[in-house]
Structure 1
Amino acid sequence: MTARSSSAHVAEVEGVRVDTRHWIGGRRVASDATFTDVSPIDEQSIADVHAGGQAEVDAAVTAAREAFGTWAAMPVKQRADILRAVADGVDARRDDLAMVETRDNGSLLRSHLRGVMPRVAMNFRYFADLAEQISHPIDEIRGHRQRVSYDPAGVVAVITPWNAPLMLATWRIGPALAAGNTVVLKPPEWAPLTASLLADIANDAGLPAGVFNVVQGSGARAGAPLTRHPGINRLSFTGSVPTAGVIAEAAAKNIVPLSFELGGKSALLVLDDADLDLAVTLAVEQFDNAGQVCLGAFRVLVHESLHDEFLQRVLASASALVQGDPRDEATDVSALVSRPHFERVRGFVERALADGARAVLGGGPNDDLGGLYFRPTILVDARPGSEILTEEVFGPVLTVQTFATEEEGIALANDTRFGLAATLVTGDPERAERVSARLNAGTVWVNCFFVRDLGAPFGGNGKSGIGREGGAWSFDFYCDVKNTVFAPHGWHAVEGGGDS
C-alpha cells in the first residue's frame, strides 16, 4: 500500500509528491470538497483530490481569458520554445509520471516508461515544431492577393478519459497551446494525478500564468459547468457517446465548436489469404491495457477456412499472457480501472453467456488475484446482433465470428454504428487496397496495428466522433482560419465579380 503524506494538499504516490489542489491562474487553489482517488491495483485510496465546481471553473476560464491576449500575441518561436521546455520537463520526470499514472489507472509501468510518456513529450515537441512551420499561403486572384492565416480561437476546454489520461490530454493541449490558445483541462476523476504533475512541469518550463489550468472533479460538478461556460471557444472531449450528447447540447447554446473521440467497436478482419502468425499476434495485442483501448479491434472476423487453426493458436497465445500487478515487468494484463467499470465489463460477459455465447477462454474475474482483475476472455457463438457484438465493452473481451466470402467479411466489419478503426490482414496487396477502401473507419491498419503518426488525421466516423485532429488538422480545429484579400497597391475601388 502506497504511503500517504500528512499534508492536506499533497499525496505521496510511489514516492512521488503530488499536489492534489487545482492549478488555476499560475497557482494552487483549494476546494472545500474532495474526492477519493482509488488505485485499481489493490483498490486502496492513494489521494484525497480537491473537487472543483462552478466557482473553480469560472476562475479557471477567467484566468485563461486574461492570459490569452499575451500568449496569442507572443511570437510563435517564443511560444514553441516554451513548449519544447515543457517536453524536456516531461522527459526529465518520465519515471515519476510513469509510476504515478500506473498507480492511478493501473496501466502497465513498462508501457508508460517506454511508449506513453515519451509520446507525451512528443505531443508538445511535434506541435511546437509544426506551429513554426505552418504556412500562410498567398495566392493571386484576379489581380488581388489572397492570404490564409491561422488565428488562435481563444480558450480551449479539454476533457479527457482515464485509460491514457496524460497522453490523451497532451494530444489536445499541445496543438491548442502551440496555436496560441489557452487551456482549461478537466482530467478524469478516476485518474487525475498526472495532470497535476503536468501543471508543475509547465510552470517550471516558464509557461505564463493562466495559459494552462487544471480543474479536478466529477463530470457533473466540474465537467458540466465547463462545457456550458460562455467563456470557452473550443471544446475537445474523449469519452462515451451518451456523455458526448450531453456535452454537445450544453456547448450548442454558446455555438462552441466541438472535437469528439467517442470509442468504437472495431473489427479485425482476417481474410483467407492472411498470414496466420500475424493474425494471431494482432488478435492477442487487443488485450493491451486490459482491453481499455478505444482503437481496439475486439470483433475478430475470421474466414471460415482459417477459423479452427486460428482459434487454436489464439487460445495458446492468449493463455500465456501474464496477469498481475502492472508494476511487475513480467505482467501483460493488469486490472480494470475501477469497481464500477469492472462490474460493467462483467455484466456484458454474463449477459452474453446467458444469451448463448460460449467462453473458450476466461469468461469472468481472475479469482486467483481478486479485486479488479478480469481474465482475458474470448467468446464464440454470439448471436448476430447481440449486445456483445454491437456495444463497446472496453475490457479484455474478444468475440470471434466467421464469414464465407470477402463481401460478407466487409459487411460484418461495417455492421456497427461506430467507425473509429479497423484492422485488415491479407497477403494480397491488391486485395488490401480494395478491401481497405470499403471499410468504414477513420483509421484502417493493414497487416499492422496501432501505428500512429502525429501528422496523420485521427478521428472516427458515425458514433465514434466528430472531426479530425493531428498535424495541420489540429490547427484547423484550434484556430479560426482567416482568408484576407488585398486589392492591388494604390487601388481604392472595390472590384466585384463574385466567387470563382
Structure 2
Amino acid sequence: MSNALQTPSLAHFKLPAIDNEPMKNYAPGSIERQKLKEAIDSMRAELPLEVPVVINGEKIFTGTTAKQFNPSDHAKVVCNYHEADASLIKKAIDGAMVAKARWESLPFNDRVAVFLKAADLLSSKYRYKIMAATMLGQGKNIWQAEIDAAAELCDFWRFNCKYAEEMYQIQPPKNAFGTWNRAEYRALDGFVLAVSPFNFTAIGGNLPSAPALMGNVVLWKPSPSAVLSNYLVYELLVEAGLPPGVVQFVPGPAEEVCATAIGHPEFSSLHYTGSTAVFRKLWKEIGNNIDKYTSYPRIVGETGGKNYHLLHPSLDEQGVRHAALQTIRGAFEFQGQKCSACSRAYIPQSLYPTFRKYLLEEHAKIKQGPSHEFEHFMGPVINRFAFDKIKGFIDHAQTDDNCQVLAGGKCDDSVGYFIEPTIIISKDAMTKTLTDEIFGPVVTLYVYEDNQFEQTCKLIQETTEYGLTGAFFARDRESIVKGSNLLRHTAGNFYINDKCTGAVVGQQPFGGGRASGTNDKAGSWSLLVRFISTRTIKENFVPIDDFIYPSNFA
C-alpha cells in the first residue's frame, strides 16, 4: 500500500490504563536486590563493552573511538564507543528522511504500541541491566538508578502515549451545516536533533522518544558520560519494534555532530538538556542559519538551575527538622548532579541554630563510596571536569572571609571522583556559591533577619539568572499563600514543605523559565505539542447555488 493511502495520525483505539511505574525497594535479602547485584557483577566482568554508531539499523564501527569511564574508579573503562563524523551525520539525516515517510504515516496505535512495549520491557527484562549501566557508568546509587533508569523512563514512555492520545482527540467543537471540520496532528517537516545529558538515563530516553512518538525522526547524540546506558535504551526500543532510521544513534564530538545537523536545511527542531552556555550557543547557530531552513525550527531546551530552599519564621521545631532532612536530600542525592538540586538555603535568624543542629547531625550520617556498594547514599561526581569545577567552588569558599565551610569540603580523586557533601554558610548574599550554578554536592546557607522575609523573597529572584525549582517551608496557610505569591516567578517547579527535587512524570511536569530553559514541561502534553505541525481540514458536503452574498441584492 502506498504511503498516500495509509491511515493519518488519528487515535482510534483506547490505551490501557496508565499509571506510574511501581518502585522497588531493594531491601537486604529481597529478590530485586539479588537480581540487581547479579546484573552489576555480570556487567563488571564484561567491561569494557563496545558501542557502535547505529544508522538505518546498521551498526557502524568507525574505528574512531572514545572511552566512557567508571566515575567510582576512573581507571576502569565502562565502554569504548565509536564516533560519528560529519559524513555519517549526513548519512543519518538522509536515512532518517527516508524512514520518515513510512513512520509518520503509521496509525497512532501502531506508533504508540512501540513505546508501551518498550516500557513493559524496561519494567521487566531490561530493568536491572540498564540500572547496572547507570550505576557503573554514571555513578548513581540503587535508589537514584531505580527512580531514573527504571521508573521515570517507564513513566515517560507510558504517559507520553496517554497525553498524545488526549491531544489527538482534541477536534474543532463546531461544524456549520454541510461541513465537517477536523484537525490532523502532523510531524514536523524535517528531522529532530536530540542532545541528551549524562545525569538522567530517563532524559536520554525521553529526548528522542517524545518527538518520535509524534511521528518525527530523530538524530540522538548521547552524552559521552552516558553512552552505555543510552545505547541499551536504544537497543530496547529496537526490540520493542522501532523501525530502522526513525532514531539514529550517533555518539560523537558534540561540535561536529551538532554543527552538521543544525546546518542542514531539513533541521526542524532541537530537543536539548544540558548546560546553559551550550544551549545558548546552539540557539545562536540556529538563528544564524534561519534563511536556509525548510521550516522555522522548534527549540526545546532545559538547562541549569540555582535552586533554593526558603524557611519561614513560622516553622516549629518539627518543621525545621523536616526542612533540614529535605535539604540533605535535595542538595546531596546523586551528588547534587541534578539541574533541580538544592544549591542555596535561606534561614531566618531565629531558626538558624535549630536548623544548623539538625542539618549537621544528619550530614554526619551520610555514607559515600563506589556505586556498586549498596550501602552508600552518595557516590562520585561524573568526571574530571566536574570534579575540578566543584572543587574550585569549595576552594573559593575556604578562602573567602565571608564564607565558612560547616561540613565536608574534602575532595579525593585518587581512585574515583569523590567530593564530600559540603555545607557552606555565607554572610554575603551575592557570594559565588550563592549565585553560580555548581552542579555538585555543595549547598550554601544564608541567614536573614526574621523581619526581612519579603525582602528575602525578592533577593532569591534577583540572586541568579535561573528559574527552575524552589521550595518553601512554612507552618500556617496564610504564610504559605504569601510566600507562594512572592516567589511566583522564581521557579517553574515550586514545592511547599517538600524538597526542590524529585518531580514525577504524570504528577509534576518538569521545567523552568528564565535562563533555565523554554519551560515546555517534560512529562506533559505541552512538550509533545512542540513536535507537531497541525493541519486544519474543512470538508464541504453541500454545493452552493451562487457566489453572491445575500447582502448584495438591491
With structure 1 as the length reference, what TM-score do the two structures score?
A: 0.91
For residue 43 of structure 1, what is the aligned residue in structure 2?
A: 74
- Match of 2:185? 150
Match of 1:477 in 2: 530
Q: Secondary structure at the match of 2:419?
A: coil
Query: CA–CA distance in 1 between the matches of 2:469 and 2:50?
Result: 37
Per-residue deviation at 1:224?
Answer: 3.1
2:327 aligns to what? 283
Corresponding residue for residue 505 of structure 2 = 454
1:324-351: per-residue Cα shift (whole Å, max 9, x none)?
Answer: 0112221011101001110010011112
Given that 1:382 and 1:399 are in contact with CA atoms closer than 8 Å, whether structure 2 keeps it comes out as no
List aligned pairs for 1:180-329, cutoff 5 A.
Answer: 180-252=215-287, 253=289, 254=293, 255-274=296-315, 275-285=319-329, 286-329=331-374
Match of 1:3 in 2: none
Task: Tell whether the 8 Å contact from 1:108 to 1:334 is kept in structure 2 after alignment.
Answer: yes
Pair 287,494 (structure 1): closer, same or farther in 2 beyond 3 Å: farther
Question: 2:258, 2:244 → 1: CA distance?
Answer: 22
The match for 2:477 is 429
- Structure 2 spans left out of the alignment, 5+ residues: 1-41, 550-554
Q: Which residue of 1 aligns with 2:495?
A: 445
User: Aligned letter for 2:44?
Assistant: E
Tell me which of 398, 409, 420 is aligned to 2:456: 409
Greater Cα offset, 276-285 or 458-467? 458-467
Tell me the percent identity.
22
Q: Is the 8 A contact 2:471 2:496 kept in 1?
A: yes
Once superposed, what is the RMSD of the aligned Cα atoms?
A: 2.2
3-state SS in 2 of match to 1:117: helix
Determine the C-alpha separation between the residues in 1 that align with 2:473 and 2:262: 41
Aligned-partner Cα distance in 1 for 2:543–2:436? 64
Rg bigger for which structure?
Answer: 2
Q: Within the alignment, does 1:168 sit opposite 2:203 as a pair?
A: yes
Identify the match of residue 406 of structure 2 among 329, 352, 360: 360
Larger mean CA deviation between 15-24 and 73-82 belongs to 15-24
1:195 and 1:214 in contact (8 A); partners too: no
Instruction: Pick one of 65, 85, 94 that aligns with 2:117.
Output: 85
Are 2:366 and 2:377, in contact at CA under 8 Å, matched by a contact in 1?
A: yes
8 Å CA contact retained: 2:208, 2:219:
no
Q: 1:381 to 1:131 in 2, by over 3 A?
A: closer
Contact kept? 1:37, 1:48, Cα under 8 Å: yes
Structure 1: how far apart are the matches of 2:149 and 2:237? 18
Is the 8 Å Cα contact of residues 110 and 329 (structure 1) preserved in structure 2? no
- Report the CA distance between 1:115 and its aligned residue: 4.8
Supply the distance in 2 between the matched residues of 1:234 and 1:392 (Cα, whole angstroms).
27
**Does residue 349 of the first structure (1) align with residue 383 of the second (2)?**
no
Judging changes above 3 Å, is the alpha-carbon distance between structure 1 residues 358 and 63 closer, same or farther for their aligned structure 2 residues? Answer: same
Question: Residue 461 of structure 2 aligns to which amino acid in structure 1?
Answer: N
| Residue matched to 1:24 | 55
The whole-number CA distance in structure 2 between the counterparts of 1:90 and 1:433 is 41
**Preserved CA contact (<8 Å) 2:134 2:149:** no
Counterpart pick for 1:53 among 85, 92, 105: 85
Distance 1:197 1:399, change over 3 A: same
Question: Is the Cα–Cα contact under 8 Å of residues 152 and 504 in structure 2 kept in the other structure?
Answer: no
C-alpha offsets along residues 64-107 of structure 1, whole Å, 9 cap, x if unaligned? 11111111110101111121112222221111101112111111
Q: 1:240 to 1:38 in 2, by over 3 A?
A: same
Q: CA deviation at 1:458?
A: 2.7
Secondary structure at the counterpart of residue 73 of structure 2: coil
1:283-336 CA deviation, whole Å, 9 max, x = no partner? 101200001010012110111110111011101101110010112221011101
Measure how far apart 1:169 and its partner are: 1.8
Instruction: Give distance in 1, aligned partners of 2:473 and 2:229.
Output: 37
Instruction: Give distance in 1, aligned partners of 2:509 and 2:264.
Output: 28
Do 1:109 and 1:328's aligned partners in 2 also have CA atoms closer than 8 Å? no
TM-score of the superposed pair, with normalisation by structure 2: 0.82
- Aligned mates of 1:425, 1:116 — CA distance in 2: 30
Q: What CA deviation, in whole Å up to 9, does each residue of 1:146-201 have, x standing for no partner? A: 5444211142211011111x211223233212211122110001221112112221
Aligned to 2:35: none
Q: Is the 8 A contact 2:118 2:236 kept in 1?
A: yes
How many residue pairs end up in the alignment? 482
The answer to whether 1:386 aligns with 2:431 is: yes
1:75 and 2:100 aligned: no
Matches of 2:358 and 2:135, distance apart in 1: 31
Inter-partner Cα distance in structure 1 for 2:373 and 2:283: 41
2:543 aligns with: 490
Separation in structure 2 between the aligned mates of residue 494 and residue 27 of structure 1, nearest angstrom: 61
Alpha carbons of 1:110 and 1:282: their partners in 2 closer, same or farther (altered >3 Å)? closer
Distance 2:380 2:144 in 1: 14
Whichever residue aligns with residue 456 of structure 2, its letter is G
Query: 1:139 is matched with which residue?
Result: 173
Q: Contact 2:141–2:371 at 8 Å: present in 1 too? A: yes
Secondary structure of the residue aligned to 2:409 is coil
Q: Indicate the SS of the match to 2:418.
A: coil
Task: Provide the secondary structure at the position in 2 that maps to 1:332.
Answer: coil
Alpha-carbon separation, structure 2, partners of 1:385 and 1:146: 56
CA separation in 1, counterparts of 2:335 and 2:504? 23
Please point out which of 124, 127, 149 is paired with 1:94. Answer: 127
2:384 equivalent to 1:339? yes
Q: Which residue of 2 aligns with 1:9?
A: none
Gaps of 5+ in 1: 1-11, 496-500
